[in-house]
Amino acid sequence: RATRGGEEVKAYVPSMGQIFLRRFQMVTQFRQAIEEGQVTVHYQPKVALPGKQVLGVEALVRWQHPEFGRVNPDEFVPAVEAAGLVGVLTSFVLETALDRVRRWLDEGLRISVAVNLSVRNLADEDFPDRVAALLERFGVPGELLTLELTESDVMQDPERALPILRKLSDLGIELAVDDFGTGYSSLAYLRQLPVDQVKIDKSFVFGMGTDLGDLAVVRSIVELGHSLGLTVVAEGVEEDLARDRLEAMGCDVAQGYLISRPLSEERLEAWLQARTAR
Ligand code: C2E
Ligand code: CA
Ligand code: CA
Ligand code: CA
């Protein structure tokens, strides 16, 4: 609180209470927000290295809140999880994404979609059956769906996650370990899990042009992943230098602002068309 010429000037800094209240308010509105179309799915392309072939897209949720404006998933996803509503979020994103893949298939395009899971999905024994029902409903083969789980989520309770991951894998679904390198994976566990892909965390990819330590981490994840027979994906590819180094190391897939930011469905269509026209 500062005073200027006797007049009080208040800087707006939300208190912990206000932040808590906003989260609480948002969570209570979440279901309705989905029904009203405030919650949407954007898609970020993933391309093959070397080359530019579009292999798939990652579905990333967005919330355009009437009062708070665009709210970041890093803010509302944890609140939705804490409120026990993550099943609602995951179902919405899965349905939206599989509907998109279905329409691509109808146009003769095979583009896979990756959906982010929460650790709470892994505690839900019925989850694989629900995913199977959705694949059937949209007529999408399992191999066109990737499910991304963070390293720390999988490692939180691997014994519990394992049977669920096995069922998902048996549906032909690709399983990816997200944010790889930030958790504390036991190599023994990674080998036991029916995982197909590792995604190198973007923090290492950002640094790999300038920081030898980050470069070494990226290189060892590529080697480790390949020695376990996994596809290695790098996220957060922002610069040509990072892209070129990843390609030289043999990293399989790149995703990042250099290729494209996450796009609305309409903008993604335009982006895909501009690429195939070239
Ligand atoms: P994530 O799964 O690690 O997703 C990648 C994040 O990095 C996305 O942020 C994406 O926009 C951003 N990103 C991609 N390429 C670049 C780049 O080159 N540079 C930079 N600076 N950033 C890049 P976003 O969309 O804000 O999502 C944040 C996190 O929210 C996600 O991290 C994921 O953990 C969570 N999330 C998003 N959508 C969903 C969802 O549908 N369900 C669940 N459970 N979590 C979600
Ligand atoms: Ca992800
Ligand atoms: Ca598999
Ligand atoms: Ca990530």
pTM: 0.93
The string of pLDDT tens digits covering residues 75-92 is: 899 999 999 999 999 999
Question: Do β-strands 54-65 and 69-71 pair in parallel, antiparallel, or remain unpaired?
Answer: antiparallel
Average of per-residue pLDDT across 152-159: 84
Confidence of residue 10 (pLDDT cuts 50, 70, 90): low
Helix, strand, coil % in the chain, rounded to nearest 5:
50, 20, 30
The string of pLDDT tens digits covering residues 227-240 is: 999 999 999 999 99
State the Cα–Cα distance between residues 163 and 127, nearest whole angstrom.
11
Q: Which atom of ligand 1 is nearest to the CA of 115?
A: 41
Confidence of residue 11 (pLDDT cuts 50, 70, 90): low
Confidence of residue 7 (pLDDT cuts 50, 70, 90): low
The string of pLDDT tens digits covering residues 163-209 is: 999 999 999 999 999 999 887 766 667 788 899 999 999 999 999 98
Whether residue 66 has a cis bond before it, omega within 30° of 0: no
Q: Quick one: pLDDT at residue 9?
A: 59
Q: Quick one: pLDDT at residue 158?
A: 81
Nearest residue by C-alpha to atom 17 in ligand 1: 236
Task: State in Å: Cα 2 to ligand 2 middle.
Answer: 43
Q: Is the CB of 78 under 6 A from ligand 1?
A: no
Burial of 227 (0-12, 13-18, 19+ CB in 10 A): exposed
pLDDT of 5 strictly over 70: no
Q: Which atom of ligand 1 is nearest to the CA of 121?
A: 44
Task: State in Å: Cα 107 to ligand 1 middle.
Answer: 28
As given in the structure block, the two tokens for residue 66 are 């009437």
| For ligand 1, mutation pick of 77, 92, 96 (most atoms within 8 Å of CB) | 77
Q: Quick one: pLDDT at residue 22?
A: 83
Q: Quick one: pLDDT at residue 113?
A: 98
Task: State in Å: Cα 182 to ligand 4 middle.
Answer: 10
As given in the structure block, the two tokens for residue 185 are 């994976």
Average of per-residue pLDDT across 8-21: 73
* Protein residues with C-beta less than 5 angstroms from the ion ligand 4: 178-179
Task: State in Å: Cα 190 to ligand 4 middle.
Answer: 17
Task: State in Å: Cα 10 to ligand 2 middle.
Answer: 39
Q: Quick one: pLDDT at residue 186?
A: 63
Q: Quick one: pLDDT at residue 52?
A: 84
Longest distance between any two alpha carbons in the chain, whole Å: 71
